[in-house]
Protein backbone atom coordinates (compact mmCIF):
# COMPACT_ATOMS: atom_id res chain seq x y z
CA UNK A 1 0.00 0.00 0.00
CA UNK A 2 1.39 3.36 -0.95
CA UNK A 3 0.92 6.52 1.06
CA UNK A 4 0.11 9.65 -0.84
CA UNK A 5 2.07 12.73 0.04
CA UNK A 6 0.27 16.00 0.41
CA UNK A 7 1.04 18.77 -2.04
CA UNK A 8 2.42 20.92 0.80
CA UNK A 9 5.22 18.44 1.48
CA UNK A 10 6.32 18.23 -2.14
CA UNK A 11 9.05 20.66 -2.99
CA UNK A 12 10.82 20.42 -6.28
CA UNK A 13 13.88 22.55 -5.85
CA UNK A 14 16.66 22.23 -8.36
CA UNK A 15 20.01 21.24 -6.86
CA UNK A 16 22.72 23.39 -8.39
CA UNK A 17 26.41 22.54 -8.52
CA UNK A 18 27.03 25.03 -5.70
CA UNK A 19 24.33 23.38 -3.59
CA UNK A 20 25.89 19.98 -4.16
CA UNK A 21 29.28 21.37 -3.11
CA UNK A 22 27.72 22.73 0.09
CA UNK A 23 26.12 19.35 0.81
CA UNK A 24 29.44 17.58 0.17
CA UNK A 25 31.27 20.05 2.42
CA UNK A 26 28.71 19.49 5.17
CA UNK A 27 29.17 15.73 4.85
CA UNK A 28 32.96 16.04 5.04
CA UNK A 29 32.74 18.30 8.09
CA UNK A 30 30.33 15.89 9.75
CA UNK A 31 32.72 12.97 9.20
CA UNK A 32 35.63 15.08 10.42
CA UNK A 33 33.78 16.01 13.63
CA UNK A 34 33.11 12.32 14.27
CA UNK A 35 36.77 11.43 13.79
CA UNK A 36 37.92 14.34 15.95
CA UNK A 37 35.53 13.37 18.73
CA UNK A 38 36.86 9.81 18.72
CA UNK A 39 40.43 11.10 18.89
CA UNK A 40 39.45 13.50 21.67
CA UNK A 41 38.00 10.65 23.73
CA UNK A 42 41.20 8.62 23.32
CA UNK A 43 43.31 11.62 24.36
CA UNK A 44 41.11 12.21 27.42
CA UNK A 45 41.54 8.59 28.46
CA UNK A 46 45.30 8.90 27.97
CA UNK A 47 45.29 12.09 30.07
CA UNK A 48 43.38 10.33 32.84
CA UNK A 49 45.94 7.51 32.80
CA UNK A 50 48.79 10.04 33.06
CA UNK A 51 47.03 11.80 35.94
CA UNK A 52 46.70 8.47 37.75
CA UNK A 53 50.36 7.74 37.07
CA UNK A 54 51.38 11.14 38.47
CA UNK A 55 49.50 10.34 41.67
CA UNK A 56 51.24 6.98 41.93
CA UNK A 57 54.68 8.53 41.33
CA UNK A 58 54.12 11.05 44.12
CA UNK A 59 54.04 8.14 46.53
CA UNK A 60 57.36 6.75 45.26
CA UNK A 61 60.79 6.95 46.90
CA UNK A 62 63.15 9.67 45.55
CA UNK A 63 66.06 7.21 45.21
CA UNK A 64 64.00 4.67 43.35
CA UNK A 65 64.35 3.93 39.64
CA UNK A 66 61.05 3.66 37.80
CA UNK A 67 60.12 2.17 34.46
CA UNK A 68 59.04 4.90 32.05
CA UNK A 69 57.65 4.26 28.58
CA UNK A 70 59.56 5.99 25.81
CA UNK A 71 58.05 5.13 22.45
CA UNK A 72 57.60 1.37 22.44
CA UNK A 73 60.22 0.61 25.10
CA UNK A 74 60.42 1.00 28.87
CA UNK A 75 63.49 2.63 30.40
CA UNK A 76 64.70 2.78 34.01
CA UNK A 77 65.00 6.43 35.06
CA UNK A 78 65.19 8.21 38.42
CA UNK A 79 61.87 9.22 39.97
CA UNK A 80 62.44 13.03 39.69
CA UNK A 81 63.26 12.67 35.98
CA UNK A 82 60.18 10.51 35.45
CA UNK A 83 58.00 13.10 37.20
CA UNK A 84 59.43 15.90 35.05
CA UNK A 85 58.85 13.91 31.86
CA UNK A 86 55.37 13.00 32.99
CA UNK A 87 54.54 16.64 33.64
CA UNK A 88 55.78 17.56 30.16
CA UNK A 89 53.74 14.74 28.63
CA UNK A 90 50.64 15.94 30.50
CA UNK A 91 51.14 19.51 29.24
CA UNK A 92 51.60 18.31 25.66
CA UNK A 93 48.49 16.17 25.90
CA UNK A 94 46.49 19.08 27.30
CA UNK A 95 47.56 21.20 24.31
CA UNK A 96 46.48 18.43 21.93
CA UNK A 97 43.10 18.16 23.68
CA UNK A 98 42.61 21.91 23.47
CA UNK A 99 43.54 21.90 19.80
CA UNK A 100 41.08 19.08 19.08
CA UNK A 101 38.30 20.95 20.87
CA UNK A 102 39.04 24.06 18.82
CA UNK A 103 38.93 22.07 15.57
CA UNK A 104 35.62 20.50 16.58
CA UNK A 105 34.15 23.92 17.38
CA UNK A 106 35.35 25.36 14.05
CA UNK A 107 33.87 22.45 12.11
CA UNK A 108 30.57 22.66 13.97
CA UNK A 109 30.37 26.40 13.32
CA UNK A 110 30.93 25.83 9.61
CA UNK A 111 28.29 23.08 9.63
CA UNK A 112 25.83 25.43 11.33
CA UNK A 113 26.37 28.05 8.61
CA UNK A 114 25.86 25.44 5.89
CA UNK A 115 22.68 24.21 7.59
CA UNK A 116 21.23 27.72 7.52
CA UNK A 117 21.94 28.08 3.82
CA UNK A 118 20.77 24.60 2.83
CA UNK A 119 17.63 24.57 4.99
CA UNK A 120 16.84 28.05 3.66
CA UNK A 121 16.83 26.74 0.11
CA UNK A 122 15.55 23.17 0.53
CA UNK A 123 13.43 23.37 3.68
CA UNK A 124 12.08 19.97 4.67
CA UNK A 125 13.36 18.35 1.49
CA UNK A 126 16.80 17.93 3.08
CA UNK A 127 17.76 16.39 6.41
CA UNK A 128 21.04 17.57 7.91
CA UNK A 129 20.38 16.59 11.50
CA UNK A 130 23.11 14.35 12.81
Contacts for 101 with CB less than 8 Å, ≥ 6 apart: 40
The reported pLDDT for the residue numbered 38 is 98
DSSP assignment of 39-56, as one string?
HHHHHHHHHHHHHHHHHH
Mean pLDDT across the chain: 89
Q: What pTM did the predictor assign?
A: 0.81
Please list the ranges in the chain whose pLDDT falls under 50. 1-6
CA separation for the pair 72, 63 (Å, rounded) = 25
Amino acid sequence: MRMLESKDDETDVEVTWEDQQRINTFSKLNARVGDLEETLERKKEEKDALDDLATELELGDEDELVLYKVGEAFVHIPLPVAQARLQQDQENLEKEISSLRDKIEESEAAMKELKVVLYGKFGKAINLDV
